[in-house]
Structure 1
Amino acid sequence: MTELNVLNNKFESKEKIKVNLEFTPDAINVPVVHQVVKAILAGRRQGTAKTKVKSEVSGGGKKPFKQKGTGNARQGSTRSPLMPGGGTVFGPVPRSYEQKVNKKVMIGALRSVIVDKQLAGKLIIVDALTSTGKTKEMAKLLGSKNLLNALVVTTDSNSLAIRATNNLKTAKGLGVDNLSVYEAVKYENLIIEKQAFEKLANKLV
């Protein structure tokens, strides 16, 4: 059981909460985080690269030149991979780059990132993020605490705080259900609402 500070909307200390997570260096599993981040990025690849094989290129109905007497190697079709404009051998074809990651591995990676952020002093739990949806206000609030490079996680995925944050170049807003290991690693600070953190912590135990 660990006690964590909870801040108010102005990032001032308000209360403490207890969570069933151990925030120790031993709880950080770097290889698992690396594996999950690689899998997430691989899944985002389009996989649409395609080259034409011999049967798909145009031409080829006629023998390009006679069999003997030219001094060239014999050829039977202009579609041959040996001919300019011919088909490609063993070229890329559309495919999925998705990598399977077990649920326990994904949870372990997210737990490692949360622990690492807390130990580095980069985990900020806020009671509630109230916002009018104005980017200027959010930039002023985060800038005053030197938190402009941050991932803002809210309980509600339609929160105005998300809309205000997503217009910032160095920050991003997400609902807790859409939180991914990659996004958590990408941004320096993790700002998360109290209810969202409690929901997340229950999954990580």
Structure 2
Amino acid sequence: MDVAIYQDDGVESGETAELDPTVFDIEPNDHVIWLDVKRIQAHQRQGTSKTKERSEVRGSGRKLYRQKGTGNARVGDAQSPIRRGGGRAHGARPRDYTHDLNRKEKRLARRSALSYKAANDNIRVLEDFSLDRPDTRALADLFEFLDVSGQDILFATTEVEREIYLSAQNLSDVNVQEVNSINTVDILDADVVLLQEGALDWLTNVLTTAPTVELAA
């Protein structure tokens, strides 16, 4: 599958790039996509919720009144969970929600997500370029020429491009990341995926070879 390569002004360069069918044209595995999305979202949970249980609530362990003879229901101390101001029975405790998938499943999830985008013609390839200084207007004009303005854009650069990243900060629908840090959720959340040539080569190399490079969480 060949796609046109665009220059940094949005004009076609006259050259094409091949989208490897083993990465961009597979039968998507929805279950593995779900597993990877669930894993990524679990990693984002803080897991810091905490309530005080009976042994942690301030107060003495004194029995409030004697066991028998008052006509009242029997009680223990003021920290009892059934009393106002008492501890919480089986309360929330800090915990780690993270879980993992093996590398083959992570790669399959990313290939499946990319195949969905390619099937809908939502992948564009750009020449590698840098900006001398942050320039939001230049980036906005590029997206306008590519006819992707107003859509959620994932822009994967070959290397860390600070000026491009800063240029996109005032564009609420643009997510600029170095290619080795994008994950399945980033791809699925975007309407259009823009790949610099080097980023395309990196993705193709990593997702078609034996798992030797660790992907982004």
Same fold (TM over 0.5): yes
Residue number in structure 1 paired with 2:213: none
Q: CA deviation at 1:197?
A: 0.7
* Per-residue Cα deviation, 1:114-173 (whole angstroms, up to 9, x for no partner): 111111111011012443322232123213423342011101113421221233111110
Code of the residue aligned with 2:4 in structure 1: it is N
Residue number in structure 2 paired with 1:185: 188
Q: CA deviation at 1:13?
A: 2.4
Residues 1:120 and 2:123 aligned together: no
Q: Counterparts in 2 of 1:39-58, with a 5 A limit? A: 39-58=39-58
Please state whether the residue corresponding to 2:21 is helix, strand or coil: coil
Deviates more, 1:88-97 or 1:159-168: 159-168
Change (3 A) 1:143 1:121: same
Residue number in structure 1 paired with 2:214: none
Code of the residue aligned with 1:104 in structure 2: it is K
Whole-angstrom distance in 2 between the partners of 1:61 and 1:176 = 59
In 2, are the aligned partners of 1:129 and 1:161 still within 8 Å (CA)?
no
RMSD, aligned CA: 1.7
* Per-residue Cα deviation, 1:14-67 (whole angstroms, up to 9, x for no partner): 21123532444x521122112111110111010000111111001133211222
Residue number in structure 2 paired with 1:153: 156
Code of the residue aligned with 1:12 in structure 2: it is V
Q: 5+ residue gaps in structure 1? A: none
Whole-angstrom distance in 2 between the partners of 1:86 and 1:159 = 53
Whole-angstrom distance in 2 between the partners of 1:87 and 1:63 = 15
TM-score by length of 1: 0.91
Whole-angstrom distance in 1 between the partners of 2:28 and 2:149 = 23
User: Identity percentage over the alignment?
Assistant: 29
Residues 1:203 and 2:203 aligned together: no
Please state whether the residue corresponding to 1:40 is helix, strand or coil: helix
Residue number in structure 1 paired with 2:215: none
Deviates more, 1:147-156 or 1:13-22: 13-22
Residues 1:12 and 2:15 aligned together: no
In 2, are the aligned partners of 1:127 and 1:193 still within 8 Å (CA)?
yes
Deviates more, 1:105-114 or 1:65-74: 65-74
Please state whether the residue corresponding to 2:116 is helix, strand or coil: helix
Residue number in structure 1 paired with 2:144: 143
In 2, are the aligned partners of 1:21 and 1:201 still within 8 Å (CA)?
no
Deviates more, 1:78-87 or 1:9-18: 9-18
Q: CA deviation at 1:87?
A: 1.2
Residues 1:3 and 2:14 aligned together: no
Whole-angstrom distance in 2 between the partners of 1:77 and 1:19 = 70
Q: Counterparts in 2 of 1:32-71, with a 5 A limit? A: 32-71=32-71
In 1, are the aligned partners of 2:9 and 2:141 still within 8 Å (CA)?
no
